[in-house]
Amino acid sequence: MSTEKEQTFEFQSEVKQLLDILVYSLYKNKEVFLRELVSNAADALNKMQFEILTESGLSSKDEELKITVSVDKKHNKLVIEDNGIGMSKEELIGNIGTIAHSGTLDYLKKISESPAKNQVDLIGKFGVGFYSSFMVAKEIHIISRSWQKDSPAWLWKSKGESSYSIEEAEKAGRGTRIELLLKKEEKEFLETFQLKNIILKHSKFVPFPIYLEGEKIERQDAIWTQPKSKLNEKDYAEFYKFFENTQEDPETYLHLSSDAPVQFASLLFVPKTSFELLGLMKTEPGVDLYSKKILIQKGSKDIMPEYLRFVKGIIDSEEIPLNISRETIQSNVRIDKIKKHVLKKLLEHLESVKSKNREQYLNIWKNFSKNFKEGIVSDYDNREKLSRLLLFSSSKSGADQLTDLKEYVERMPEGQKEIYFLGGADRLAIEKNPALEIFRKKDYEVLYLTDPMDEFVLDHLREFDKKGFKMAESADIPLEEKSEVTDTAYLKDADNFLTYLKTIYGDQIKEVKISKRLTDSPCLLLNPGDGPSVQMEKIMKMVNKDYQISKRVLEINPEHALIKKMVSLHKKDPAAVSLKNLALQLLDNMKLREGILSDTEASIARIQQIMLDSSDQT
Ligand code: ADP
């Protein structure tokens, strides 16, 4: 049999750039390269373990699955070896010479410009782990033999510049051996005590034994299977840091275990940062599925609903068969039970954080409110639980505070039947809306919806604590408050004026009415019924240009000085051009406020005419 000769390959161009970033700018904390290599070795062992347990031809009495770290001081060599699944030639080319995750490079470029302290956390998150070894090595050799029957071994060599080579090699047994020829100035990584410290610091939860120069390093067993009473805050934080390759503590965690009706253990974490908020990438699901401490599915899409993709952790159940397929995971009744139970507990946990530690919850809210809202729209079964996690700014919450729906309901005065809300760009803009006048007067609280998604969310929610949601701008809220105008003569004139307005406005609006809710403003545009708000309609129009904004109701305040003046002008001369200008402008002003004025030129010309008229009088 002839052996294959050395062949040279170019790195994918992105890999070249990545190497530059890694070696010259990104990581100051070089020791993490070892964590990355150990974690790759552990992944390879995990996959091997899985094959051993599910492939009938393989013996579980196989050699011990392990990672070995050794040094050759004479040759400046650090060696990390595993007897995991190994790699074929094609796998070496596909896995090591290319970056799997598209967008990784852009993201890393961005990160490399951000403060040093945030940088190191991102290694490993985007499949760049292996390359970090070039921070300390001037040359790397990978000798690997795939576990597949009769596979030859291959030697992969690179100096970390633009190319690598592959040739057939000699290697006893399956697995991967990585030899780092260290740079002169990185000799510290040949010292055993140093290596041991690094392994203990970053890799002590690795689920396989690690031998350093023949000595077995103590490590911790799967912490999620241990009793809660044996663990403290620090254990959880340490595990999280290991699990997520981060230096950051988790925001909160939840450790669950149950023996009946189904057996499972679960350890879930909510991170302190949202990667979706930081960057452009959508987070991948972060909960891994295990069976008796053996990894079955990393980042399972089927164990957590998509909107909770930011949650990290593990669900382990001995009731899950090792060789379960994706389809079976989705339809397995037991898994479904576990999923429902874990989800319920997680949402309850978040609610309890909200009531016990509002400050901590505010950080969760800042990072993941979009996810909870997504959940309300997509997860009917947990809608009610999710609604308890919502926070809003409101007319009673104070400028930088937020309130939840339970607090709102508790504050509702007698007689108030619905939960009122009003949308707008920000708190200030909403507070200026005349629709609020009557609510202030009646002391009814109004939720301020500043996120365009909120109205959509409330629309899906329909009610909270049996109370419906109602837009404060709806014309059909029974808010009759003011005593009727008693001057019957004036009332008749005002009525005539209304008829006049109707003819002037034509089909621009649905209806003109005498307002029973305005106190300080001359008029107000309202929503005819339970249709979408104007903010929502504007979004719809953005999506579909042909969308017609629905016609609204104009309410007039007959006691306002401007309206009184117009009523009397109308009485004197209903055909006056100046009156018509005022009337048209009255409506345009409202449209302007709502951002739905289409013919701005006509409006400006009219305002100028009104200005001219008024300067004539002075
Ligand atoms: P990541 O581990 O984040 O995917 P790496 O660049 O570190 O990124 O590794 C790329 C790929 O190379 C891995 O996903 C894996 O398929 C393969 N690989 C790396 N190290 C090993 C190893 N020791 N044994 C088998 N495969 C490995």
Based on the domain organization, do 29 and 73 belong to the same domain? yes
CA 43–ligand 1 middle distance (angstroms)? 8
Final residue before a domain boundary, out of 165, 197, 216: 216
Closest-CA residue, ligand 1 atom 27, reads: 40
Structure confidence at residue 242 (pLDDT): 86
**73 Cβ contact list (under 8 Å, min separation 6):** 190
Based on the domain organization, do 117 and 32 belong to the same domain? yes
Nearest to 58 by CA among 151, 148, 145: 148
Closest-CA residue, ligand 1 atom 14, reads: 95
Q: Distance between alpha carbon 450 and the CA centroid of its chain, in Å?
A: 18
Structure confidence at residue 407 (pLDDT): 96
Q: Ligand 1 atom closest to Cα of 127?
A: 3
CATH number of the domain that residue 605 is part of? 1.20.120.790
Structure confidence at residue 162 (pLDDT): 86
Domain that holds residue 462: 390-471
pLDDT confidence band for 59 (50 / 70 / 90): low
Final residue before a domain boundary, out of 177, 197, 216: 216
Confirm or reject: Cβ of 36 under 6 Å from ligand 1: yes
Confirm or reject: Cβ of 532 under 6 Å from ligand 1: no
Amino acid at 566: M
Is 39 inside a domain boundary? yes
Number of structural domains the chain divides into: 4
Is 377 inside a domain boundary? no
Based on the domain organization, do 452 and 560 belong to the same domain? no
Q: Hey, CA dihedral for 25, 271, 334, 255, is it positive or negative?
A: positive
Based on the domain organization, do 27 and 77 belong to the same domain? yes
Confirm or reject: Cβ of 94 under 6 Å from ligand 1: no
Residue 236 near residue 253 (C-beta atoms within 8 A): yes
pLDDT confidence band for 100 (50 / 70 / 90): low
Confirm or reject: Cβ of 81 under 6 Å from ligand 1: no
pLDDT by residue (tens digit) across 323-368? Answer: 777 777 778 888 899 999 999 999 999 999 999 999 999 999 999 9
CA 125–ligand 1 middle distance (angstroms)? 12
Q: Ligand 1 atom closest to Cα of 40?
A: 20
Per-residue pLDDT, averaged over 287-298, amounts to: 86
Based on the domain organization, do 99 and 25 belong to the same domain? yes
Label the pairing between strands 286-291 and 294-297. Answer: antiparallel
Residue 174 near residue 167 (C-beta atoms within 8 A): no
Structure confidence at residue 280 (pLDDT): 54
Q: Which residue has the higher pLDDT, 403 or 130?
A: 403
Q: Which residue has the higher pLDDT, 11 or 404?
A: 404
Which residues face 312 on adjacent strands? Answer: 269, 286
From residue 128, alpha-carbon distances to 132, 397, 413 in Å are: 7, 46, 58
Is residue 126 pLDDT above 70, yes or no? Answer: no
Based on the domain organization, do 31 and 166 belong to the same domain? yes
Per-residue pLDDT, averaged over 78-96, amounts to: 95
Is 544 inside a domain boundary? no
Is 458 inside a domain boundary? yes
CATH number of the domain that residue 397 is part of? 3.40.50.11260
Nearest to 512 by CA among 555, 473, 474: 555
CATH number of the domain that residue 36 is part of? 3.30.565.10
Which residues face 80 on adjacent strands? Answer: 69, 178
Residue 311 near residue 271 (C-beta atoms within 8 A): no
Confirm or reject: Cβ of 176 under 6 Å from ligand 1: yes
Mutate which of 27, 38, 43 for ligand 1 pocket (most atoms within 8 A of beta carbon): 43
Is 539 inside a domain boundary? no
Phi-psi region at 56: left, alpha or beta (left = phi > 0; alpha = psi -120 to 50): alpha
Based on the domain organization, do 338 and 236 belong to the same domain? yes
CATH number of the domain that residue 320 is part of? 3.30.230.80
CA 100–ligand 1 middle distance (angstroms)? 10
Structure confidence at residue 246 (pLDDT): 82
pLDDT by residue (tens digit) across 2-55? Answer: 567 889 998 887 788 777 777 765 556 788 889 889 989 999 999 998 888 887
Is residue 521 pLDDT above 60, yes or no? Answer: yes
Structure confidence at residue 540 (pLDDT): 85
Percent of the chain beyond pLDDT 70? 91
Per-residue pLDDT, averaged over 588-604, amounts to: 91
Structure confidence at residue 605 (pLDDT): 95
d(CA 45, CA 55): 15
Per-residue pLDDT, averaged over 122-132, amounts to: 64
Closest-CA residue, ligand 1 atom 18, reads: 40
Is residue 102 pLDDT above 70, yes or no? Answer: no
Mutate which of 27, 38, 40 for ligand 1 pocket (most atoms within 8 A of beta carbon): 40
Is 14 inside a domain boundary? yes
Q: Distance between alpha carbon 273 and the CA centroid of its chain, in Å?
A: 10
Is 463 inside a domain boundary? yes
d(CA 537, CA 594): 11
